[in-house]
Chains A and B, each alone.
Chain A
Amino acid sequence: DGGITQSPKYLFRKEGQNVTLSCEQNLNHDAMYWYRQDPGQGLRLIYYSQIVNDFQKGDIAEGYSVSREKKESFPLTVTSAQKNPTAFYLCASGPLSGNTIYFGEGSWLTVV
């Protein structure tokens, strides 16, 4: 089936740890995105990428890192520098025009 697959669905992080969220798409989309969702704050853009080996910071990139080694994959690393990482993380992809975005099912990250 075509779509965007995020894993894991639930992840727990200890203080000081880096964790990586996976995102894979088989829709042949050029653009990929990571959003963070907190209650009452809507969606905030973390990073986006239009092409392999290139990515740009979004509105809240501090404490996060990404890579785009393959067109299909755009993993997000939440580093220990991110002070408040507990949130719902959404990966998305779409055409290069940026006028339509499709979302994965999301990953919950909780700091313990």
Chain B
Amino acid sequence: GQQLNQSPQSMFIQEGEDVSMNCTSSSIFNTWLWYKQDPGEGPVLLIALYKAGELTSNGRLTAQFGITRKDSFLNISASIPSDVGIYFCAGQLESGGGADGLTFGKGTHLIIQP
């Protein structure tokens, strides 16, 4: 099925640094979602975006729904050790019927170096 291009694939950062990751596609999306997955656990929903241009924050996390409706980014400010994990973007295609849910990126693996 349709894939989202999520980048970077992995990030090695120092504690306290800001983080930025994004998802892009050639298709138009109605919804963008960002999830975090810890090892051996299910993804947890961080932020949901339902309108083009929407900018939403959740604590140190900020995400935006691109105005072209083909991309989204997630920023994490002042990273801490518990931010380590895999971050997934997901979107609902405008062209899809919606019944089969979301299209997922392959994830960004965030690693914090001591």
Contact = CB atoms under 8 A, between A and B. Distances in A.
Nearest to A94: B101
B62 interface: no
Contacts of A88: 40
A40 interface: yes
A12 interface: no
Contacts, number: 66
Contacts of B107: 42
Contacts of B44: 103
Interface in A28-42: 31, 33, 40-42
Main secondary structure of the interface of B (DSSP, over half): loop
9 residue pairs, one from A and one from B, having the closest CB atoms: A103-B42, A98-B98, A42-B106, A99-B31, A43-B104, A99-B92, A106-B42, A105-B42, A98-B101
Interface string A92-112: 101001111111111010000
